């Protein structure tokens, strides 16, 4: 089993049980999920680092807790009792290692009347701060900080306060995203005023200029990296179970739209391990896809659900999300620049094959074991075991264990230092030593990359420089077109960040938001380099922190 020092350290600090080795961990997970019939096959899949499931499965499979899902959405009702209940449920999820998403859109706005009292409502953002404080007190699975997604519909009267809610450095345990609807986009394009609606009674609170809201969101994202955008028109247009109603929230990183109390299990294929002799081994890829679908579906059956509501909602749809990691490494090994039309075509073809094979296997499982109970009224006309089968997750910790690049992101830096539970680990991509020359123009290439994280400034051939572009060196249109190329063949959504250099402006970000929607993305996150003091990743010799 090939594990880097950083991977071994991360496993020791976050995943291994007392006295456990990495081999023991993968054996524990394979036995718990696969049982006698499939444990050997699943162990090979995991130990060869061809596929890894989400962190709660690695942490909890085969233990007394046994909660294996990563993604949850919880409801937030407009009553103190409902809010308190959601808060308690959130803490249970975080303690088990899961992350939670919420739509705060049902809460009445700040200053609205509260029946039965002489007081007025304090609004959604005030309650988000309560949820944030509670999250800070509960580590996920006792091993990592909890994570939340807070969503507010753009039509909510408190939307301006929400957009700027993280500019003071608060809500550190939340990602925040604006829920964009079709009516807003129509008003934005037509230059017409947009009505903000009180969710308590449906009355118009006030009318605003949608262009001003759009610019405010872009300016805030320029300053802090948030809010992101969730395009619920696109999310619900492609919802596989529309008869269950509209979806209003996602998990913390935005890749998993879910109904209230629904949960989902994610797993990612290591594409870099599917490259053999400078070509994609399609037979191996399809084998891993089919085995990955079997694994994730089996997780549902051995999972221990925290609440009856979560069990009922999850079993009704049996959603799973198979995705990929190591995409950027795979491109480099295939001699393709991330910022190229060739890479975009490859991405679409690749994910199309994965989606087709995943759907095919879920259909076979539907025939063998039965379709998901809520299939009547869904988009499917025949058998299907799972309402969704594909998701592109960020693989924040998994890619480090697998020794590859994260999700479908380009390489952020080819050299960096990570701090894992207080211990600093220097990481230089294997690609540097394998594929770059030792010197260029008399300069030590590896030393340059270790210092700066990039080949920029080295006298290398143009194609080599294009091959080793880092995330901030890639034009936004290629970030967005790559996200769209994957989204076309993904049931759920795609976690992807458009990383920008410091010099970009709020107007640039506003255009990125618009293009993301035009390309059919379900959401968009933008981050301008050094726009936050707690930046997780820095290039070269700067320190970054693992907190996922």
pLDDT, tens digit (0-9, with 9 covering 90-100), for 322-350: 999 999 999 999 999 999 999 999 999 99
Cα dist from 231 to 62, 104, 362, whole Å:
38, 16, 27
H, E, C per residue of 290-325 = HHHHHHHHHHHHHCCCCCHHHHHHHHHHCCEEEEEE
Q: Which residues contact 213 (CB under 8 A, 6 or more apart)?
A: 154, 159, 160, 163, 184, 194
Residue 544: pLDDT band with limits 50, 70, 90: very low
Q: Give the rounded percent of residues in the chain with a pLDDT score beyond 70.
A: 95
Alpha helix positions (H), 370-501: 398-402, 430-435, 445-452, 462-467, 476-487
Q: Which strands form 543-545's sheet, in the order they lie side by side?
A: 423-428, 415-420, 543-545
Whole-prediction pTM: 0.95
pLDDT, tens only, 245-281: 999 999 999 999 999 999 999 999 999 999 998 999 9
| Catalytic one of 54, 148, 239, 251 | 251
- Is 541 a residue of the active site? no
Q: What is the pLDDT of residue 535?
A: 59
Q: Are 231 and 177 in contact (CB under 8 A)?
A: no
- Is 253 a residue of the active site? yes
Q: What is the pLDDT of residue 314?
A: 98
| Catalytic one of 255, 329, 363, 473 | 255
| Catalytic one of 71, 187, 253, 264 | 253
- With CA atoms as reference, report the closest residue to 73 among 222, 248, 194: 248
pLDDT, tens only, 350-360: 999 999 999 99
Average pLDDT over residues 196-212: 98
The answer to whether the Cα torsion of 50, 55, 56, 62 is positive or negative is positive
Q: Is 196 helix (H, G, I), strand (E, B) or coil?
A: strand
- Is 255 a residue of the active site? yes
- Say how far apart CA 321 and CA 69 lie, in whole Å: 11
Tokens describing residue 533: 């003091």
Q: In the chain, where are the structural domains located?
A: 414-469
Give the CA count within 13 Å in the CB-facing half-sphere of 67.
20
Q: What is the pLDDT of residue 421?
A: 82
pLDDT, tens only, 107-134: 999 999 887 776 899 999 999 999 999 9
Q: What is the pLDDT of residue 139?
A: 65
């Amino acid at each position: 089993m090939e594990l880097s020092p950083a991977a071994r350290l991360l496993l020791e600090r976050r995943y291994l049980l007392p006295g456990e080795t990495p081999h023991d961990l993968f054996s524990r997970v394979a036995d718990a999920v696969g049982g006698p019939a499939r444990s050997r096959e699943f162990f090979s899949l995991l130990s060869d680092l061809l596929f890894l499931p989400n962190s709660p499965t690695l942490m909890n499979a085969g233990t007394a807790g046994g909660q294996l899902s990563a993604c949850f959405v919880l409801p937030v009702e407009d009553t103190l009792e409902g809010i308190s209940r959601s808060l308690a449920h959130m803490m249970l999820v975080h303690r088990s290692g899961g992350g939670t998403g919420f739509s705060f859109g049902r809460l009445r706005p700040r200053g609205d009347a509260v029946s039965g009292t002489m007081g007025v409502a304090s609004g959604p953002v005030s309650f988000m701060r309560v949820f944030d404080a509670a999250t800070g007190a509960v580590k996920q699975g006792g091993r990592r900080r909890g994570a939340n997604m807070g969503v507010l519909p753009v039509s909510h009267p408190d939307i301006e306060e929400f957009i700027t809610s993280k500019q003071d450095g608060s809500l550190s345990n939340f990602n925040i995203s604006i829920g964009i609807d079709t009516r807003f986009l129509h008003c934005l394009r037509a230059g017409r005023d947009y009505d903000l609606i009180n969710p308590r009674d449906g009355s118009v609170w006030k009318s605003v200029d949608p262009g001003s809201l759009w610019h405010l969101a872009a300016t805030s994202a320029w300053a802090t990296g948030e809010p992101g955008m969730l395009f619920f028109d696109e999310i619900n247009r492609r919802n596989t179970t529309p008869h269950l109603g509209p979806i209003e929230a996602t998990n913390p990183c935005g890749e998993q739209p879910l109904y209230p109390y629904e949960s989902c299990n994610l797993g990612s294929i290591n594409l870099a391990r599917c490259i053999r002799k400078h070509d994609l081994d399609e037979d191996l890829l399809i084998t891993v896809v089919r085995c990955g679908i079997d694994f994730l579906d089996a997780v549902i059956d051995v999972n221990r659900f925290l609440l009856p509501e979560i069990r009922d909602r999850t079993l009704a749809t049996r959603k799973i999300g198979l995705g990929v990691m190591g995409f950027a490494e795979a491109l480099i090994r295939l001699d393709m620049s991330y910022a190229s039309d060739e890479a975009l075509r490859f991405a679409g073809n690749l994910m199309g094959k994965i989606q087709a094979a995943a759907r095919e296997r879920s259909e076979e499982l539907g025939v063998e074991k039965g379709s998901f109970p809520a299939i009547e009224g869904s988009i499917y006309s025949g058998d299907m075991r799972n309402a969704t089968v594909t998701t592109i997750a960020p693989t924040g910790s998994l890619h480090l264990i697998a020794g590859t690049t994260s999700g479908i992101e380009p390489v952020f830096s080819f050299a960096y230092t990570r701090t894992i539970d207080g211990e600093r680990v220097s990481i230089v991509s294997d690609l540097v030593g394998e594929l770059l020359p030792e010197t260029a123009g008399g300069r030590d290439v590896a030393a340059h990359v270790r210092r700066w994280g990039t080949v920029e400034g080295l006298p290398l051939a143009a194609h080599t420089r294009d091959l080793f572009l880092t995330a901030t060196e890639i034009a936004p249109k290629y970030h967005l077109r790559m996200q769209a190329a994957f989204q076309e063949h993904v049931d759920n959504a795609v976690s992807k960040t458009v990383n920008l250099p410091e010099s970009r402006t709020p107007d640039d970000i506003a255009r990125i938001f618009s293009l993301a929607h035009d390309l059919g993305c379900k959401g968009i996150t933008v981050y301008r380099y050094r726009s936050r003091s707690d930046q997780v990743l820095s290039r070269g010799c700067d320190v970054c922190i693992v907190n996922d």
